[in-house]
A and B are shown apart, each in its own frame.
Chain A
Amino acid sequence: LAKTTQPISMDSYEGQEVNITCSHNNIATNDYITWYQQFPSQGPRFIIQGYKTKVTNEVASLFIPADRKSSTLSLPRVSLSDTAVYYCLVGGTGAGSYQLTFGKGTKLSVIP
């Protein structure tokens, strides 16, 4: 199963765009990349998922280069409410795909 590496923490001012990159060098051909957001005292919740190129939804964009060895979560114009821990998870339908292992996540702090 692909191991993921993310920065431990990031700071950003309100209104700025934030990009969080996740490295997953041994991603398998049939793995998807999924990002989750976790607020204190809550379980993680799904933000966005992709396989290749770019995916956009109402809250974020996900950029995946052609080699798929990394991915970047982009949060446009962050607000204080975006302060949370962000996890990327890589998994799919290959062998071992049931062992969905998270990394340590990136703690994003948004500053007024």
Chain B
Amino acid sequence: NAGVTQTPKFQVLKTGQSMTLQCAQDMNHEYMSWYRQDPGMGLRLIHYSVGAGITDQGEVPNGYNVSRSTTEDFPLRLLSAAPSQTSVYFCASSYGGQISYNSPLHFGNGTRLTVT
């Protein structure tokens, strides 16, 4: 049971380049989400999904796109990278669509992205 798997672990992009951060989970979780973590800022929600075909914006969605074609995968796309997107990105999932008893978030180990 791998849990939540994020790839790549590290990535360096030039301004204006595009890329996709991959996230996959093998727990049949309906809820998946993306966070970014910057020094002193905690975790900020970018986008989330409550099931295949359903996505919505979090508190910092600008510059990022998501889609959810399968239950297992929830990729995060940067269409034109900017230095302000330098951050550590975490993917998380949980059973069901909400926080409920015994249904906490499971996190991946993150992707460290640098945009120069």
Do A49 and B43 touch (CB < 8 A)?
no
Among B14-22, B34-42, B71-79, the one that faces the other chain is: B34-42
Q: Do B40 and A104 touch (CB < 8 A)?
A: yes
**Minimal Cβ-Cβ distance residue in B for A48:** B104
Q: Are B59 and A99 in contact (CB under 8 A)?
A: yes
> Residues on B close to A: CB < 8 A?
4, 31, 33, 35, 40-45, 48, 50, 56, 58-59, 90, 92, 97-102, 104-110
Q: Which of A53-99 contact B (CB under 8 A)?
A: 87, 89, 91-93, 97-99
Evaluate contact between B107 and A45: CB separation under 8 angstroms: yes
> A residues engaging B (CB < 8 A)?
31-32, 34, 36, 41-46, 49, 51, 87, 89, 91-93, 97-105
B50–A98 touching, CB < 8 Å: yes
| A49 B45 Cβ-Cβ under 8 A | no
In the complex, what residue of chain A is closest to B48 when comparing beta carbons? A98
A97 touches B99 (CB 8 A): yes
Q: Once the chains are docked, how many angstroms separate the CA of A44 from the CA of B31? A: 16
Tell me whether B41 and A104 are in contact (CB under 8 A): yes
**Chain A contacts of B109 at CB under 8 A?**
41-43
Q: Which single residue of chain B is at the shortest CB-CB distance from A107?
A: B40
Note all chain A residues with C-beta closer than 8 A to B58. 99, 101
- Docked-complex contact B43 and A87, CB < 8 angstroms: yes
Q: Please tell me if the beta carbons of A92 and B98 are within 8 angstroms of each other in the complex.
A: yes
Are A89 and B99 in contact, with the CB atoms below 8 A? yes
Which of chain B's residues have a CB closer than 8 A to the CB of A36?
Answer: 104-105
